Amino acid sequence: MANKKNTTGVLLVNLGTPDSPSVPDVRKYLREFLMDGRVIDIPLIARAALVNLIIAPFRAPKSAKTYQKLWTERGSPLLYYGQDITHMLQEELGESYAVELAMRYQSPSIEDGLKALMKKNVSRMIIVPLFPQYASATTGSVQEKVMELVKGWQVVPTMHFISNFVEEPLFIEAWKQVATPYLEKEYDHYVFSYHGVPERHIRKSSVDGYCQLNGKCCSTYNKKNQYCYRGQCFYTTRQLAEALNIPEEKYTVCFQSRLGTDPWIKPYAETVIKELAEEGHKKVLAFSPAFIADCLETTVEVGEEFRDEFIEEGGEEWTLVESLNAHPAWVQCLKKMVLDIH
């Protein structure tokens, strides 16, 4: 479809990060993020009370301390790796494509990204939410925001949305290339830790009540659980384990970052870490394949907090494989996903 006259706009969209690790900026970020009805899916008044009376005053100062540990000279890794891959992808795709980066929350905004593409007179747009597995709280939220922003435009160009990329072989290949140097060493066990979501999010996206949040439904990936975040996480793991030659009995999947008191998808990371140490495992290699760039959830939570917990419980070594970040194999994966859309 793309020819010399037509430009295709590509909008890469990640979750977002605070503008700085200060308490006011972290509070502003958390407010915008957690007031999203797809993230905290309870009635507006209850959500506003929870966010303003509990999360903003109590969680923001605590999170700001963690963000201070994560921050580098270039700022937040989620943002600067996003900028790096945007430039790399633009180089790869050439002048018939215009690539912009946006964040669902905070900056750069989706609105500015869409406007920048429209200024370049794009004839179509490809929206790429940077979440390998579909969740209503992430990909669904990006889709909703884009549709809300374009609904008043006089001219809406042809729009394409990428839903997830768990079936993209180059995604698995990119992880394989990042992980290969680590696999020269021996480990007792491998952990695949994904961001969690509340169990009710899974129930709401289940077809005919298929998803039972157990090993049975998530052990296959099929038409009935094609939008099940938990099912897609297990599917990603099976593919990664196969590509990395890790036998089934040597790995465990877990879900991290629970917020609040409602049940989230299991097994919980803290339970798995404790059990692995109790079973006598000493050396663990951890992966975080729900994230395409290092962020608070990978570097600090999996890389530092989980390591400390594992060692406190009797383990000896806990190593985190970094995210895809700006690895050229990841940019090749993005390029293929874009070029596959005609």
Closest by CA position to 236, among listed 78, 201, 228: 228
Asked whether position 228 contacts Fe ion by CB under 5 A, the answer is yes
Burial class, 334, CB count within 10 angstroms (exposed 0-12 / middle 13-18 / buried 19+): buried
Structure tokens at 306: 């989980």
| Residues in Cβ contact with 9 at an 8 Å cutoff, skipping those fewer than 6 apart | 97, 98, 100, 117, 118, 120, 122, 124, 125, 126, 157
According to DSSP, residue 321 is labeled P
Asked if 292 and 132 count as a contact pair (C-beta separation under 8 A), the reply is yes
Residue 84 binds which of ligand L6N33NVT, Fe ion, none (CB < 5-8 A, kind-dependent)? none
The label of the residue with tokens 């099912």 reads 231
Closest by CA position to 127, among listed 45, 216, 14: 14
Closest by CA position to 319, among listed 174, 178, 182: 182
Residue 17 binds which of ligand L6N33NVT, Fe ion, none (CB < 5-8 A, kind-dependent)? ligand L6N33NVT
Backbone angles phi, psi at 222, to 5 degrees: -145, -175
Minimal distance, residue 28 CB to Fe ion, in Å: 16
Consult the annotation and say whether 297 binds a ligand: yes
Out of 55, 127, 211, 324, name the contact with Fe ion by CB under 5 A: 211
The label of the residue with tokens 């897609």 reads 232
Structure tokens at 31: 């407010």
Backbone angles phi, psi at 142, to 5 degrees: -65, -45
Closest by CA position to 266, among listed 322, 328, 193, 324: 193
Out of 12, 102, 110, 137, name the contact with ligand L6N33NVT by CB under 6 A: 137
Q: How many CB atoms lie within 10 A of CB 208?
A: 6
Residue 10 binds which of ligand L6N33NVT, Fe ion, none (CB < 5-8 A, kind-dependent)? none
The DSSP H or E segment spanning 190 is strand 189-195
| Residues 150-189, interacting with Fe ion (CB under 5 A) | none
Nearer to ligand L6N33NVT, 27 or 189 (CB): 27
Which segment (46-54, 144-152, 287-295, 326-334) binds ligand L6N33NVT by CB under 6 A?
A: 287-295
Secondary structure (3-state) at 259: coil
Residue 320 binds which of ligand L6N33NVT, Fe ion, none (CB < 5-8 A, kind-dependent)? none
The label of the residue with tokens 């097994």 reads 267
Length of the chain as a residue count = 342
| Residues 154-213, interacting with ligand L6N33NVT (CB under 6 A) | 195, 197-198
Q: How far apart are CA 88 and CA 103, in angstroms?
A: 18
Residue 217 binds which of Fe ion, ligand L6N33NVT, none (CB < 5-8 A, kind-dependent)? Fe ion
Closest by CA position to 335, among listed 96, 149, 26: 96
Asked whether position 56 contacts ligand L6N33NVT by CB under 6 A, the answer is no
Which segment (43-51, 57-65, 208-216, 306-314) binds Fe ion by CB under 5 A?
A: 208-216
Which segment (115-123, 278-286, 289-297, 314-322) binds ligand L6N33NVT by CB under 6 A?
A: 289-297
Residue 218 binds which of ligand L6N33NVT, Fe ion, none (CB < 5-8 A, kind-dependent)? Fe ion
Asked whether position 226 contacts ligand L6N33NVT by CB under 6 A, the answer is no
Out of 23, 50, 59, 332, name the contact with ligand L6N33NVT by CB under 6 A: 59
Consult the annotation and say whether 195 binds a ligand: yes
Asked whether position 333 contacts Fe ion by CB under 5 A, the answer is no
Interface residues with Fe ion (CB under 5 A) are: 211, 217-218, 225, 228, 230-231
Interface residues with ligand L6N33NVT (CB under 6 A) are: 15, 17, 30, 39, 59, 63, 76, 78, 131, 135, 137-138, 195, 197-198, 257, 259, 290-291, 295-297
- Binding-site residues for Fe(2+): 195, 297
